[in-house]
């Protein structure tokens, strides 16, 4: 993306969303070389944050939150990242609305209760058979 491509950013503001395109200051967008350097810097910082989030997925840490933070950094400069974030926001909002549906909530409560009963029964069977002993110290 460059300063010229930011002119195509209109149209979406009618939906209540910010227009697409670079959010770099005007004095940076006015100079092509400076704007390209700005975009490279934003891309590298966003890549480092997304990379840290990917590393946090299997390790302890807020992996997805950090990945979306990196996408938000990219979205300050790149239209494709803005579109991905808008799509993600729309899907999360739809999922939240579905989760608040009374039928879905009732089903989730029933499934959670059934799961807790099954776990309680398994724990009771274990305690009845072995007592309060950790599994790795049980002698056969």
Tokens encoding 14? 């009618």
Q: Rounded mean pLDDT of 98-106?
A: 85
pLDDT of 3 above 60: no
Phi first, then psi, for residue 10 (nearest 5°) are -75, -165
| Domain ranges across the chain | 3-100, 101-140
Q: Rounded mean pLDDT of 29-41?
A: 81
Q: What's the pLDDT at 48?
A: 94
Supply the mean pLDDT for the chain. Answer: 81
**Tokens 């799509």 map to which residue?**
87
Q: Rounded mean pLDDT of 96-116?
A: 90
Residue 121 or 135, more confident:
121
Report helix angle 79-99 to 102-130, nearest 10: 80
Distance CA 5, CA 46 (A): 21
pLDDT of 97 above 50: yes
Q: State percent of the chain over pLDDT 70.
A: 79
How buried is residue 33: exposed, middle or buried, by Cβ count under 10 Å (0-12/13-18/19+)?
exposed
pLDDT of 9 above 50: no
Distance CA 17, CA 86 (A): 9
How buried is residue 100: exposed, middle or buried, by Cβ count under 10 Å (0-12/13-18/19+)?
exposed
Q: What would the pLDDT profile of 51-87 be if each residue is shown by its tens digit?
A: 999 999 888 888 889 998 999 899 888 888 889 989 9
Distance CA 34, CA 2 (A): 11
Tokens encoding 17? 């969303």
Q: Rounded mean pLDDT of 14-38?
A: 73
Number of neighbouring beta carbons within 10 Å of residue 29? 18
Count of alpha carbons within 13 angstroms of residue 94, beta-carbon side: 6
């Amino acid at each position: 993306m460059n300063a010229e491509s930011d002119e195509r950013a209109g149209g979406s503001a009618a939906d209540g969303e910010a227009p697409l395109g670079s959010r770099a200051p005007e004095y940076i967008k006015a100079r092509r070389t400076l704007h390209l350097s700005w975009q490279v810097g934003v891309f590298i910082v966003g890549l480092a944050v997304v990379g840290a989030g990917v590393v946090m997925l299997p390790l302890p840490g807020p992996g997805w939150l950090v990945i979306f933070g990196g996408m938000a950094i990219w979205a300050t400069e790149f239209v494709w990242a803005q579109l991905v974030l808008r799509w993600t926001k729309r899907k999360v909002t739809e999922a939240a609305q579905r989760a608040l549906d009374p039928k879905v909530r009732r089903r989730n409560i029933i499934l959670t209760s059934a799961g807790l009963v099954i776990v309680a029964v398994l724990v009771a069977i274990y305690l009845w058979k072995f007592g309060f002993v950790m599994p790795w110290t049980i002698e056969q």
